[in-house]
Amino acid sequence: MGRRKTLVQDIMTPDPVTVSPDATLADAYDLMVDNEVRRLPVVTEELVGMVTLSDILGSIPTMLAETDVETRLLLSARKVRDVMAWGPVTIAPDDTIQEAAERMLEYQVSGLPVIEGGGKVVGVITESDIFRLVVESWAEA
Output the pLDDT for position 76: 76
Whole-model pTM: value is 0.85
Average pLDDT, the chain: 88
Per DSSP, the residues of 14-79 read ES---B-TTSBHHHHHHHHHHHT-SEEEEESSSEEEEEEHHHHHHTS-TTT--SHHHHHHHHHHSB
pLDDT confidence bin for 14, thresholds 50/70/90: very high
Read off the pLDDT of each residue in 33-38 and give the average, rounded to a whole number: 95
Greater confidence, 112 or 133?
112
Greater confidence, 110 or 65?
110
3-class secondary-structure state, position 123 = strand
Output the pLDDT for position 141: 61
Domains and CATH numbers, the chain: 8-140 (3.10.580.10)
79 bridge partner residues: 24
Q: How far apart are CA 128 and CA 24, in angstroms?
A: 27
pLDDT confidence bin for 136, thresholds 50/70/90: confident
Tally of CB atoms within 10 A around 7: 16
Output the pLDDT for position 3: 46
pLDDT confidence bin for 1, thresholds 50/70/90: very low
